[in-house]
Amino acid sequence: MEIRKAGLQDIDTILSVIDQARQIMRETGNESQWTNGYPSREVISSDINSGNAYVCIGNQEIVGYFYLACGIQVEPTYNEIEGGSWLDDKPYGVIHRLASARKAKGISQAAFDFAFTKIDSVRVDTHKDNLPMQNYLRKNGFTYCGIIYLTDGAARDAFQKVIR
């Protein structure tokens, strides 16, 4: 699978992938994540303009999408964590809006593998009802660190993996 930076020309296809991922969430019992049009065209456009948006290419078409930013305190909502702590205070990567087309396999693995080529520590948060993502994270060496709160006050389970 190839991973490349997303461009504005990719937005319609990315939104289609996100719609498919949203449908998969609903089918697996996650009724409350990615509601009310989130992530929107504007959010994805902002991701792309930040230079942190990536698409996964399989069979010469976009089959996955994710946002990856790396640095120190790149996710302000991660500054406070409840019921635990992060594994370290070093620079980290954060993945958001990870989405897979219905027919695609291995998008999560490809996205996280890609992230670990950029940085040794990755943090991620997910909705408590997103059991497929939580299972993936636990199965792949991520540690549950506690609960973070989004800017709208919604709670998210927070995970981190550090490789050295």
**Domain holding 49: CATH number?**
3.40.630.30
- Domain tally, the chain: 1
**Rounded to an integer, what distance in angstroms lies between the CA atom of residue 155 and that of residue 148?**
6
Q: In this predicted structure, what is the pLDDT of residue 2? A: 97
Q: Flag whether pLDDT at 161 surpasses 90.
A: yes
Domain that holds residue 40: 2-162
Answer whether 2's CB lies under 8 Å from 57's CB.
yes
**Which tens digit of pLDDT belongs to each residue from 41-64?**
999 999 999 999 999 999 999 999
**Which tens digit of pLDDT belongs to each residue from 12-31?**
999 999 999 999 999 999 98
Q: Flag whether pLDDT at 150 surpasses 90.
A: yes
**Rounded to an integer, what distance in angstroms lies between the CA atom of residue 40 and that of residue 79?**
25
**Nearest in space to 136 (alpha carbons), one of 159, 164, 104, 155:** 159
Q: In this predicted structure, what is the pLDDT of residue 76? A: 97
Pair of tokens at residue 164: 């050295």
Q: What is the mean pLDDT of the chain?
A: 97
The structure tokens 């506690």 sit at 146
User: What's the pTM value of the predicted model, to 2 decimals?
Assistant: 0.94
